[in-house]
Amino acid sequence: MNFQLSEEQLMIQQAARDYAQRELIKDVIERDEKAIYPTEHIRNLAELGFLGMLVSPKYDGSGMDTVSYVLAIEELSKVDSSVGVIISVNNSLVCYGIEKYGTDDQKEKYLKPLARGDQTGAFLLSEPGAGSDATAQQTSAIDMGDHYLVNGVKNWITNGNTASTYLLFAQTDRSKGHRGINALIVDRHSEGISIGPHENKMGMRSSDTHSVQFTDVKVPKENRIGDDGFGFKLAMKSLEGGRIGIASQALGIASGAWELAVKYAKERQTFGKEIIKHQAIAFKLSDMATQIEAARFLCLKAAWLKDQGLPYGIASAMAKQFTADMAMQVTTEAVQIHGGYGYVKEYHVERLMRDAKLTQIYEGTSEIQKIVISRAISDGDI
């Protein structure tokens, strides 16, 4: 692996950094407090090509590589990981599945507007009783000949109310277990879809999270992705890439908190000198920097493997598990370094700590990543 970033990658990183530090920062505290969806920011970032970063220009995407994607998500998440997760879901989970496995008609009708950012997408896998265990799908998609009839409830859906396109996973034949699950593209405005209240979350509060209920929703047969029963495989392949996005968010949260902690430590004085000159603080910052750098290399390795067309599932699980846990540790230390100021919203680090917690939970908890990694060890893949 070449550790030197290309000129294009550096330009993408700088563009994301400039937008985050110049624009996202202005209203991030208010959006967090009031759980306001960042509509204008998403529109602006779509114009910059970030909503379809990983999509081929053939389908109106930006055609960037996954390394660039990691760099951009990190920079945006340093300031607002809610924006990071919106972009991550659209790229890694929704656009990926349609571009990789969809038909030409599906790509023309759904992928292009998603890649341009004219629309956003949502990934509907989790259910009240099927979070980490994706095989336990209860939402049904009954085959009615020329269409499916969908009934069920999906939980914790990012972009649940703002998305125009849903990538839905539902059980068509329970006797086949996970081989009976299908992936369907669903128009969010279809008759029979109702949206639950906005979830009042601890962190990432300006991302749009809802439950979605389906009651006799008709989905045309041509909206199925892949062969009958392909849905579970599609979900698992999508999550492999999705974990790179989540790891990048966690990386950004941690590095953003570290930068704020360094800045504060250079300004705050005790006993006649800046606190960064006290060994107790200097050692904390040193440990934090080392953890962040280790996490960054895990994220970039997973991204590089994906770009090379090599297996990256184990690498993405490692990146997600390590980086999410690291972000929780680093943000907690950043609050501690700020002392009492770290506990108030004005200094941002308390928000970053709240955001970090979610990265340990969604896209499969840290424990789920350990299952993936330990199975690879047992199978001799590591």
Tokens for 114, please give them: 């998603």
The Cα–Cα gap between 334 and 353 comes to 8
CA distances for 223 relative to 40, 99, 231, 322, angstroms: 30, 13, 12, 37
- Contact (Cβ atoms closer than 8 angstroms) between residue 159 and residue 218: no
- Contact (Cβ atoms closer than 8 angstroms) between residue 51 and residue 219: no
**Element of type H or E holding 149:** strand 147-158
The Cα–Cα gap between 151 and 160 comes to 17
Residues pairing with 121 in the sheet: 165
Residues pairing with 219 in the sheet: 148
The Cα–Cα gap between 10 and 303 comes to 15
Q: Classify 130 as helix, strand or coil.
A: strand
363 is an active site residue: yes
Angle at 57 between CA 53 and CA 62, to 5 degrees: 25
The Cα–Cα gap between 265 and 270 comes to 10
What does 171-189 look like in DSSP terms, one character per residue? ES-GGGGGGGEEEEEEETT
The Cα–Cα gap between 154 and 204 comes to 19
Kindly name the residue from 199, 350, 363, 367 that is annotated as catalytic: 363
Report CA torsion sign: 304, 91, 11, 359.
Answer: negative
Please list the active-site residues. Answer: 363
